[in-house]
Amino acid sequence: MEISERRLRWKKFKVLTPQKLMLAHHVLDEIREGTDVMRALRTHPLDAKRGGGYLTKAALVAAYKQMVAAGTLEPDGVLLESIRMKPMRTLSGVTTVTVLTKPYPCPGKCIFCPTDVRMPKSYLPDEPGAMRALEHQFDPYEQVHARIRALENLGHPTDKIELLILGGTWSSYKRDYQEWFVKRCFDAMNELERGALRDHADKMETAGVNIAQAQTTNETASHRNVGLVIETRPDEINPDELRWLRHLGVTKVQMGAQSFDDHILEINKRGHAVECTRKATALLRAAGFKIVLHWMPNLLGATPASDRKDFAKFWQDFCPDEIKIYPNQLLANAELYEYWKRGEFHPYTTQELVDLIADIKPSIPRYCRVNRVIRDIPGNNVVEGNTRTSLRQDIQSEMKKRGTHCQCVRCREVRGKTVESKTLHIDDLTYQAGTAEEHFISFVTPDDGLAGFIRLSLPTKDAPLTGMSDLNNAALIREVHVYGQSLAVGDRKRQTGAAQHLGLGTRLLEEAEVIARNNGFEKLAVISAIGTRHYYLDRGFERGEYYLVKKIG
């Protein structure tokens, strides 16, 4: 299907018939007056002569947008938030858009990794994000464009986009492809505001040299990139690679640690040792990147008992900012399947996984965020073992029974709760992470909710050299994130969901500057995403080669 044809379909979908629009108007009025959304929908059924049924949330969002555009309804952030579909997706303050790179050989030979010629290594064609990529033939422009439009149709804000690039090992792709791919993602974000769509010939251009212009345009675009994430292997990380990632605008790197046991890594044919992960993590930290490590319980040779011990090693030197727990799943198109047929591998049961993760989750430090506890692989692909993708909820239920709780960032985010500035207190959690002293400085609510935080890294004299002059004698701001909503109850004139209005980000930067100065650093360097550059420039930072820098000495 041509892009223009698909776009016309989208336009048809979002414009409601007069009957549905009138019905939606009544439902929205009731919701504004305090009626529960689902109750308001049920009390206004569709005409039985025309098929009956009820309006959906998606129809309410479409009606809201149609009425605002026509001037018959004042923009109302609280109302929109109440009718938004799957609100958890954007309650952390940003909207994640996931895209996949084309199928391409991976340097890894891991026995647990599935292989499908239609997909990049380790991905299956019926995973949700992979299905979207396959539908758009892995075209970065189309993937970003379609996903943002879909999120808008569901009522989600799309002004702050975290771009998550998945697919095999990013660093193994040719650099001209990488540059083209990222540029086309930026083109989609930049051109959406004008509704512009280029011809297919233009889409396939390889004018990677224009990536700087695409980035500059995005600094003030309506859909700004506030984070750019890639995934790679620890043995691909070196100073030259980090400079290249900064050229592209990358701010966060995901790596598969998988295990902290060299024997387990060897028999699973991972292709690198634990020390390689340690060095890569230290180098990424020294360059200011946010670090996400993947961990896989139930690898060949592991047991629930050994996995519990292995998980504890996370917090010895590595200390990632975020983790993804990906229990090994037995798939027919992975080499591990042959081990299973010979009786050499046994998948954990669902209950064994729930017990294992419920045991280890309370030990996760307050500075770390648990992004996932299971891969989103449809159960029909799993030969034996756990098939539940709702494992997080099962683990939460088990922990509730035990009376334990997790203190990770994700579990403490205030999300949609109202935040009052005067009730917040500031906390500076200091910890040693290999060759850096880390400060996780946060604003905390009276009930221990997390309203915002900054990650300040103070490299020691033993920190690895990055070769980037911006970072000479610099303290590093690796992340600033503010959550929540400062909206007062009953105030429907302001957009919801932003403790940013309280100025918490500025206050966190000021606190970080004091700590850095007191520790003898001459400057602050921030690993800014493209779309957040002006935020820092407005606060005294200046443009460096790869970072924004502020002199404080």
Q: By the 8 A CB rule, do 93 and 162 touch?
A: no
pTM value is: 0.84
278 and 266 in a single domain? The answer is yes
**Total domains, the chain:** 4
In a domain, 238, yes or no: no
Cα 500 from Cα 160, distance rounded (Å): 13
340 and 307 in a single domain? The answer is yes
271 and 374 in a single domain? The answer is yes
In a domain, 45, yes or no: yes
- Residue 39 dihedral angles phi and psi, to the nearest 5°: -65, -40
56 and 117 in a single domain? The answer is no
400 and 283 in a single domain? The answer is yes
Rounded (10°) CA dihedral 47, 87, 162, 314: -140
Strands, sheet with 252-258, edge to edge from the N-terminal-most edge strand: 95-100, 160-166, 224-232, 252-258, 290-295, 322-325, 369-372
**Sites in the chain below the pLDDT cut of 70:** 1-16, 37, 47-52, 58, 77-78, 81-93, 192-209, 484-501
Token representation of residue 86: 């799957």
- State the first-to-last Cα distance of the chain, in angstroms, to the nearest integer: 58
53 and 95 in a single domain? The answer is no
Say if residue 350 is exposed, middle or buried (CB neighbours under 10 Å; 0-12, 13-18, 19+). middle
Say if residue 71 is exposed, middle or buried (CB neighbours under 10 Å; 0-12, 13-18, 19+). exposed
Which residues are 549's β-sheet partners?
Answer: 525, 542
Residue whose entry in the numeric block shows the structure tokens 């303050």: 93
- Residue 300 dihedral angles phi and psi, to the nearest 5°: -55, 130
Residues in the chain: 553
56 and 145 in a single domain? The answer is no
In a domain, 66, yes or no: yes
Q: By the 8 A CB rule, do 547 and 288 touch?
A: yes
Cα 114 from Cα 122, distance rounded (Å): 5
91 and 216 in a single domain? The answer is yes
In a domain, 237, yes or no: no
Identify the CATH number of the domain in which residue 455 sits.
3.40.630.30
> For position 71, what pLDDT does the model report?
76
249 and 353 in a single domain? The answer is yes
Q: Which domain-ending residue is among 381, 412, 443?
A: 412
Q: Which amino acid is at 315?
A: W
3-class DSSP state of 363: helix
Q: By the 8 A CB rule, do 300 and 112 touch?
A: yes
Q: Which domain holds residue 273?
A: 244-412
In a domain, 239, yes or no: no
Identify the CATH number of the domain in which residue 364 sits.
3.30.750.200
- Residue 199: count of CB within 10 angstroms of its CB: 9
Q: Which domain-ending residue is among 52, 80, 108?
A: 80
208 and 263 in a single domain? The answer is no
> For position 5, what pLDDT does the model report?
36
113 and 187 in a single domain? The answer is yes
Degrees to nearest 5, angle at CA 183 with 480 and 232:
65
Q: Which domain-ending residue is among 80, 104, 125?
A: 80
* Proportion of the chain above pLDDT 70, given as a percent: 86
3-state secondary structure 450-515: EEEEEEEEEECCCCCCCCCHHHCCEEEEEEEEECCECCCCCCCCCCCCCHHHHCHHHHHHHHHHHH
Burial letters 317-338, b for 16+ CB under 10 A, else e: bbbbbbbbbbbbbbbeebbbbe
472 and 543 in a single domain? The answer is yes
- Residue 227 dihedral angles phi and psi, to the nearest 5°: -175, 140
> For position 476, what pLDDT does the model report?
98
